[in-house]
Amino acid sequence: MNATPIAMLCAGHQDFGLTARVIQWHVVAMYAPSLITGRLIDRWGAWPVLLAGALLNGAAMGVNLEGSTLPAFELALTLLGLGWNLLYVGASSLIGQHPDAPRRARLQAWHDMGCFGLMGLVTLGAAPLVDAWGWARLNQLALPGAGLLALVAAWQWARQWQEARPGRLKTGQTG
């Protein structure tokens, strides 16, 4: 998000109002879905929601790699905001399931500090990184992280589904 206004300027989108609109839709996509994200987690579980968030973030990077038109920026930043929401709320719900309340509080604190601390560092580095590497390269470098996150979420979801299957033998049982 923080590098987007710089990338838009470099792509020839000089109108600040257009840049503001892209960022506004990104922020709406980050927070408005919270009204239903909890219901999605209740219905399908945290891991599928995390997988969807990682896939949406990967899709945003893909859109960013395909073009630098105004609609591309709008779509990419909206997808990025939706993905962020699913990832943040999904991870928080996993932390909320931890059985030990004192550890749960510390985990949430570490999660938030890591998430928002990293966002602060990225904000400080946005302009120098876009200047040094360019918009496309930043998206290329971020894509493997989204892919790895998607793989972990899919693996955990499959593992959870396998364990929940009725009639499944537990370790040490014989049929």
Region 137-156: mean pLDDT is 95
What is the fold of 4-158?
A: Growth Hormone; Chain: A; (1.20.1250)
What pLDDT is attached to residue 162? 86
| pLDDT value at 175 more than 50 | no
- pLDDT tens sequence across 31-43: 999 999 999 999 9
What pLDDT is attached to residue 172? 52
The whole-angstrom separation of Cα 149 and Cα 79 is 16
What pLDDT is attached to residue 52? 98
- pLDDT tens sequence across 4-16: 999 999 899 999 9
Report the candidate in 134, 113, 116 with the shortest Cα–Cα distance to residue 124.
Answer: 116
What is the torsion angle, in degrees rounded to the nearest 10, for the CA atoms of residue 149, residue 154, residue 157 and residue 158? -150
Amino acid (one-letter) located at 82: L
What is the torsion angle, in degrees rounded to the nearest 10, for the CA atoms of residue 58, residue 64, residue 66 and residue 70? 140
Average pLDDT of the residues of the chain: 91
